[in-house]
């Protein structure tokens, strides 16, 4: 293979896949998102556990040493630090202890895309994405309650086909107790009938009995409001979300809403190709929205893909401090091309090209392999996307079930001229 063809092959491998998953050629194999990982059963404290610890540790450290995009390793002598901690990692008797030490080493790089996921957690996440899992069907946000200073678990969304909706749980309610004991966010309450005590904004308690039910992942949620605004929310840029979004926008083309709002609050990113496809559905022409620096390979530009019937009417993006990676690239493109306002809080600032690898024990290693820049060349890592309109919901807003971020975005859109006929997009 000539040098030129090797570069071409590396470029194709690296750019085609994840935003939190660029494929690359390394010792470990990239994750197959369509398969459940197999967890290797190992007895705690056994020689087999120690041998597997050594195998996973050496493979992880070796790959990070070769592939991590910051060749200064955050100013740390990474090789020396990893060598000094190897014995402690290998001697850990169980999965939790081993991954705690391994992630301690990776944490020296101060990169939120470079981390290791234990096998049991990796399989659980894959099951949530690919198959049915037991859920209550309510999204919780932990917020500080004024006065008490206590962190409270507030219901910020209720899935309409889930047990919580059937039981009458409402947005804004706070979980006061479960089965008579204080709510513990670290406990998995699925698997049995539970007695929840909720409190509303006025302090009235609501006793609800419900049991988590097996449901497939909710790819997205669409709401056509009475004011004619279509709100589209999804939490991951993957093939399923891509297909869902394009189908929703195709329906919108047949029966146009007043405006479209893309709700990326809490969206953790995903695949670069899915991002290109969904973003492309808001432009009539391909637009450049990303650059990757891939070491010896010249900077690679990424453009959107043209949709069959792009939405060119009024549009906005909602984001929060938990919007990260591909979600940040999406919002940045809206800003840079003047496509519509970005409303909410500054995003997470976690945007680099990364690769997810399958580890020998069934765990997963994710490695930041390339610097990411927006279409105009801006670096979002550790900076985030600053919204055009800053909105920070108060505790009272959330407890009352008010979505002030959405309200502000709708007012901003309805106050601007309809640009459906504009060729600029």
Please tell me whether residues 279 and 384 are part of one structural domain.
yes
CA–CA dist 280, 375 (Å, integer):
14
Looking at the structure, tell me whether residues 170 and 298 fall in a common domain: no
Is position 3 within any domain? no
Do 90 and 174 share a domain, yes or no? no
Total tally of structural domains belonging to the chain = 2
Q: Are strands 29-30 and 352-358 parallel, antiparallel or unpaired?
A: antiparallel
pLDDT for residue 21 is more than 50:
no
Identify whether the C-beta of residue 91 lies closer than 8 Å to the C-beta of residue 57: no
CB 309 within 8 A of CB 250: yes
Q: Which of 1-15, 119-133, 180-194 has the highest mean pLDDT?
A: 180-194
Q: Is the domain of 92 the same as that of 141? A: no
Residue 4 belongs to a domain: no
Residue where a domain stops, chosen among 215, 234, 263: 215
Across 69-93, average pLDDT: 97
- Own/partner pairs for 200-208, CB < 8 Å, 24+ apart? 200/170, 200/172, 200/173, 200/174, 200/399, 201/172, 201/396, 201/399, 201/400, 201/401, 205/176, 206/168, 206/173, 208/167, 208/168, 208/169
Q: Is the pLDDT of residue 50 over 60?
A: yes
* pTM score, whole prediction: 0.86
Q: What is the pLDDT of residue 272?
A: 92
pLDDT in tens, 338-380: 999 999 999 999 999 999 999 999 999 999 999 999 999 999 9
Please give the full DSSP string across 233-296, using - where no structure is assigned.
E-S-BSHHHHHHHHHHHHHHHHS--SEEEEE-TT---BBHHHHHHHHHTT-SS--EEEEEEETT
In a domain, 21, yes or no: yes
Cα dist. 408→4, 87, 403 in Å?
52, 55, 9
CB burial of 189-208 (b: ≥16 within 10 Å; e: otherwise) equals beeeebebbbbebeeeeeeb
The CATH number assigned to the domain holding 293 equals 3.90.226.10
Q: Are residues 210 and 223 in the same domain?
A: no
Mean pLDDT of 312-327: 97
Q: What mean pLDDT is predicted for residues 300-305? A: 88
Supply the pLDDT for residue 298: 53
C-alpha angle 387/399/138, rounded to 5°? 85
Q: Which residues pair with 400 in a beta bridge?
A: none
- The rounded distance, in Å, linking the Cα atoms of 119 and 126 is 10
Mean pLDDT score across all residues of the chain: 90
Question: Are both 154 and 299 inside the same structural domain?
Answer: no
pLDDT at residue 93 is higher than 80:
yes
Residue 121 has pLDDT above 80, yes or no: yes
User: Is 127 part of any domain?
Assistant: no
Do 266 and 184 have their domain in common? no
CATH of the domain at 204: 2.30.42.10
> Rg (Cα) of the chain, in Å, rounded?
23
2 lies in some domain: no
Q: Are residues 238 and 335 in the same domain?
A: yes
Distance CA 318, CA 334 (A): 11
For residue 329, give the nearest of 285, 291, 295 by alpha carbon.
291
Average pLDDT rounded to a whole number, residues 171-177: 97
Mean pLDDT of 67-87: 96
Question: What is the model's pLDDT at position 128?
Answer: 85
- Rounded mean pLDDT, 116-125: 94
Q: What is the pLDDT of residue 296?
A: 55
Q: Is residue 123 part of a domain?
A: no
Which among 180, 215, 250 is the end of a domain? 215
Cα angle for residues 319, 273, 330 (degrees, 5° grid): 20
Q: Please, which residues have CB within 8 angstroms of residue 384's CB and are 6 or more apart in sequence?
A: 328, 346, 347, 348, 349
SS3 at position 125 = helix
Q: In this structure, are 108 and 146 located in the same domain?
A: no
More confident residue, 35 or 22: 35
pLDDT tens track for 224-247: 999 999 999 999 999 999 999 999
Range of the domain at 146: 132-215
- Residue ending a domain, choose from 215, 231, 248: 215
Confidence tier at 425 by pLDDT (50, 70, 90): low
What pLDDT is stored for residue 424 in this prediction? 52
Per cent of the chain over pLDDT 90 is: 82
pLDDT band at 6 (very low <50, low <70, confident <90, very high): very low
Q: What is the mean pLDDT of residues 192-215?
A: 97
Tell the residue number behind the tokens 């809403």, with chain if given. Answer: 257
Per-residue model confidence (pLDDT) at position 23: 38
Query: Are 333 and 353 in the same domain?
Result: yes
End-to-end Cα spacing for the chain: 42
Residues 305, 260, single domain; the answer is yes
| Residue 167 sits in the same domain as residue 106 | no
SS (H, E, C) 141-208: EEEECCCCCCEEEEEEEECCCCHHHHCCCCCCCEEEEECCEECCCCCCCCCCCEEEEEECCCCCEEEE
Q: Is residue 1 part of a domain?
A: no
Is 124 contained in some domain? Answer: no
């Amino acid at each position: 293979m000539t040098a030129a063809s090797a570069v071409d092959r590396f470029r194709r491998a690296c750019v085609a896949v994840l935003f939190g998953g660029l494929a690359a050629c390394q010792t470990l194999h990239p994750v197959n998102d369509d398969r459940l990982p197999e967890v290797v059963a190992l007895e705690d404290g056994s020689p087999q556990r120690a041998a597997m610890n050594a195998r996973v540790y050496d493979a992880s450290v070796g790959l990070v040493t070769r592939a991590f995009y910051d060749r200064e390793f955050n100013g740390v002598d990474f090789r020396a630090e990893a060598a000094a901690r190897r014995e402690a990692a290998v001697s850990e008797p169980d999965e939790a202890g081993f991954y705690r030490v391994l992630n301690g080493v990776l944490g020296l790089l101060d990169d939120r895309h470079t981390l290791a996921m234990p096998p049991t957690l990796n399989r659980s996440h894959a099951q949530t994405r690919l198959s049915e899992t037991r859920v209550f069907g309510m999204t919780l946000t932990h917020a500080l309650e004024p006065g008490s200073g206590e962190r409270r678990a507030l219901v910020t969304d209720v899935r309409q086909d889930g047990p919580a909706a059937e039981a009458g749980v409402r947005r804004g309610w706070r979980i006061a107790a479960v089965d008579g004991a204080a709510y513990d966010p670290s406990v998995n309450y699925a698997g049995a009938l539970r007695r929840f005590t909720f409190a509303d904004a006025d302090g009235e308690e609501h006793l609800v009995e419900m049991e988590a039910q097996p449901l497939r992942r909710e790819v997205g949620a669409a709401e056509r409001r009475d004011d004619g605004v279509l709100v589209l929310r999804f939490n991951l840029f993957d093939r399923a979300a891509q297909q869902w979004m394009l189908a929703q926008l195709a329906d919108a083309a047949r029966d146009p809403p007043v405006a479209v709002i893309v709700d990326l609050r809490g969206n953790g990113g995903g695949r670069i190709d899915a991002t290109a496809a969904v973003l492309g559905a808001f432009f009539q022409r391909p637009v450049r929205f990303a650059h990757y620096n891939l070491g010896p390979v010249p900077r690679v530009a990424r453009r959107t893909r043209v949709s069959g019937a792009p939405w060119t009417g009024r549009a906005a993006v909602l984001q929060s401090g938990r919007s990260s990676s591909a979600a940040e690239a999406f919002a940045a493109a809206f800003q840079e091309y003047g496509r519509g306002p970005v409303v909410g809080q500054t995003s997470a600032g976690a945007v680099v090209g990364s690769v997810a690898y399958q580890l020998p024990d069934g765990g997963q290693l994710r490695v930041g392999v390339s610097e990411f820049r927006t279409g105009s060349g801006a670096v979002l890592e550790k900076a985030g996307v600053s919204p055009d309109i800053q909105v920070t919901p108060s505790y009272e807003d959330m407890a009352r079930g008010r979505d002030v971020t959405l309200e502000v975005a709708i007012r901003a859109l309805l106050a601007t001229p309809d640009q459906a006929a504009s060729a600029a997009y």
